[in-house]
Chain A
């Protein structure tokens, strides 16, 4: 896909927006769910959980992130989108450690970095964009 300068700027703005929305959505959802009683296997408990403001913010952010990703895919190829958005796995680990005060062991950091590299490699083949 050939880009003009303006197109580049638009693509990277949408990309940043997608990464931010996904990170905020996951964080808010996790924060909200951790403060609710265990939902178990009843699907209704999950629908009820969506009434919690943090869970609701998480769900809305993730839905907007999904729509933003669709816009991103209309601007750039999947073989570009998949590898660069794989950075979200590393961001989630950082947010877990910094905001949720999770213990992230050396093995977990290593695992997350391997997942980032692996996902970027799978995505960069462009075989899914057929």
Chain B
């Protein structure tokens, strides 16, 4: 008998016993009608955006809310250049030049919700690096020292200040994971009051199960990386980004 069959038959035998205190004989699963929504958020898109921002700020992230994609582009550029100045100022003593100081790891242009970024960044002497394959050694080496990452999102949830990102063509995991600084672009159309609201919408559209099954990975990001393992002292940027900046904007 295979391990699989042995385990499954043992479980079935155990569950077939009568008069077991646990589990109950016929428990109901939670359903869309009965399952609770744990937190709440209310208001129009700008209100939700600010709620999102409050939550994120409490988690040591930062945010801005702007009106148009154009403003989003400008804001993003300003944020990244501010970070670069911050980096330069923080470096004391001997600095090893990596050659990557003016590079930014990004999702491919058609995966981002704001256009014209290549040009805008190029004007400032910065290069957006959007690899299509990071599985090989060379690919990894090429981005290893990049300190800044830019991504879009699948969705954002106001009540918790969370972002949901997924994998796909031109949508590297690396951009939101490896660099020290991560900037995310969130159009209002992808902003939901709570995770439950987004889940309900996907479920009703019959898209939820496929969304997970057809994408290798979805990740929920709620603030910058942190740890309290060193005697409960809060430290940021343990493995993931230390700085997370989210730009929310009204879609064109």
Determine if chain A interacts with chain B.
no
**Interface set of B (CB-CB < 8 Å, partner A):** none
User: Which residues of A pack against B, CB within 8 Å?
Assistant: none
